[in-house]
Structure 1
Amino acid sequence: MDTNLDRVETTAHEHRSFRHFDIVMAAFVAILLLSNVIGAAKLSSIEVPWWPVGWWPAADGSFIFGAGILFFPVSYVIGDILTEVYGYQRARRCIWVGFGAMIFMAFMSFVVVALPPADGWEGQAAYESVFGQVPRIVLASILAFWAGEFVNAFVLAKMKIWTAGRALWSRTIGSTVFGQAVDSAIFYPVAFLGVWETEAVIAVMVGNWALKVLWEVVLTPVTYLVVGRLKRAEGVDIYDTGTDFSPFAKAG
């Protein structure tokens, strides 16, 4: 904990105005939506020379992954920053905003894709391939995000109290381990169980969970930098000692 900052308990900052909170929330929602729109529909592959031939998911020597995994975990990093800097109450508000935005995005995609194309317009098939979403996968994505982000915020807020604000890396990585585990445990079975073989669902679920946690580890120095600057800019260090952690509690 930075000793130059004022330690603030939950009840003391409920109605406080912060300079950069809205910017961080906007970044959180933007990355969340873009990672689902741009990355979710594309499978990518890279050559991995040392990967044993025949091992999933690189049976031909190419490691195959969903492009969204490159950016979706960044929303968890920003979620960590929100909870660490602004507390669980404001992180909860951002999660609900992101949840609502995802529902609206899914509804808007459905309506726009369903509209009949004009005569002579030849982009309908391409449009459907990008924005046409399987309802089961959309439901899985929304539920997994909601549950995973709340677990992530809860674990980080609790660990901050237990560690007295020390060892930021332990709570950002620890919260991601649990949050992404819940996210993956919901998304892949709901989206693909019965469509893929059970072994494949489990393999993808575990593999993507590990990659997302690895992303958090790699981005830890960035998290330290952003958290430090935001805390100094806001002048406080918030601890959720009196917080109601229910996702449905009234936002502070």
Structure 2
Amino acid sequence: MITNILKDKPTKLFVIFSCFFVANALIAECIGGKIFSLEKLLGLPVHTFTIFGQSGLSFNLTCGVLLWPLEFVMTDIVNEYYGPKAVRRISYTAVALISYAFLMFYFAIGVPPADFWIGGGVADGIPNMQDAFAGIFGQGMRIIVGSLVAFLVSQIVDVTVFHQIKKRTGEKHIWLRATGSTVISQLVDSYIVLFIAFSGKFTWQQILAIGVVNYIYKFTMAIVLTPVIYVAEKRIENYFGKETTAKMKAAAMGVSNE
């Protein structure tokens, strides 16, 4: 039976997408504790600006944003060929496994460390390995909860907007449903995580300003990655064949194509 399943091209591709989607989301959460300068990454001078009365702002972003755009590209592709139920299934799976991973991180932090290991990194400039380990893996619970809620809600918004646009445009204007759904869902994502994680710690003006900075990056990446959708769709159509592709797209929209 497993041989037949693995020979089925749509099933095989869905398994690959699901694994990569979950792994990508987990990695993004794990590296999200590091903040980087986008200007420095691109070799540009750092300029500060003011939004909503908040001065000194620049494009300092969490490393998680390096991977999240790929999640929304995959969401659109899965949505196109497998439908909203498939997107929700892999999204719920990702949230469940990320939650499990962070539970294990906190368990690992609480395990009593060996004495020789605590100071084992002194030669490398790490005076206390336990503190370093806890600092990397022990992100604040509000940030974790905010990130997971934002991810789940934004996925649902992305799926809904994607299908509403496709119902009105049919197979035309791939860029519109892919980019349109992403830019709307990313706006939701940007502010949900900030409000949950930093309400009471930051002022409303700070949250709004930081959200704008994050959204500018996400909006730009949604535009930049739009050609990837076209390349992926072309390769998938060649892989499935036109007949299977047509049936899958029709089924994804809840339309019989018999």
Tell me the TM-score range normalised by the shorter chain: 0.7 to 0.9
1:30 aligns with 2:23: yes
2:12 to 12, 19, 34: 19
1:241 CA displacement: 3.9
Aligned CA-pair RMSD? 2.3
1:72 CA displacement: 1.6
Distance 2:231 2:253 in 1: 25
- Percent sequence identity is 31
2:159 to 133, 139, 153: 153
The aligned residue for residue 88 of structure 2 is: 92
Distance 1:197 1:213 in 2: 24
Indicate how the Cα distance of structure 1 residues 63 and 185 shifts in structure 2: closer, same or farther if over 3 A, else same.
closer
The answer to whether the 8 A contact 1:113-1:132 is kept is yes
1:49 CA displacement: 3.1
Q: For residue 59 of structure 1, give the secondary structure of its aligned residue in structure 2.
A: strand
1:41 to 33, 40, 44: 33
The answer to whether the 8 A contact 1:110-1:132 is kept is yes
| Larger RCO (CA within 8 A; separation ≥ 6) | 1
1:78 aligns with 2:74: yes
Name the structure where helix makes up a greater proportion of residues: 2
Deviations 1:37-81 (A, max 9, x none): 02x111112344373x45478839x64222221212211111111
Distance 1:17 1:82 in 2: 11
Q: For residue 120 of structure 1, give the secondary structure of its aligned residue in structure 2.
A: helix
Amino acid at match of 1:113: I
Distance 1:172 1:17 in 2: 21
The answer to whether the 8 A contact 1:148-1:182 is kept is yes
Q: For residue 116 of structure 2, give the secondary structure of its aligned residue in structure 1.
A: coil
The aligned residue for residue 249 of structure 1 is: none
1:236 aligns with 2:232: no
1:129 to 114, 119, 135: 135
1:17 CA displacement: 5.1
Q: Normalized against structure 1, the TM-score is what?
A: 0.82
Deviations 1:85-136 (A, max 9, x none): 2221211211111111121122111111121111221211111111002111
Deviations 1:227-251 (A, max 9, x none): 22123323313144438xxxxxxxx
The aligned residue for residue 12 of structure 1 is: none
Distance 1:81 1:156 in 2: 11
Indicate how the Cα distance of structure 1 residues 33 and 159 shifts in structure 2: closer, same or farther if over 3 A, else same.
same
Distance 2:153 2:89 in 1: 14
Q: For residue 11 of structure 2, give the secondary structure of its aligned residue in structure 1.
A: coil
Amino acid at match of 1:174: G
Structure (1 or 2) with the larger CA radius of gyration: 2
1:217 aligns with 2:217: no
- Gaps of at least 5 residues in structure 2 are 1-8, 119-128
Q: How many residues align?
A: 226
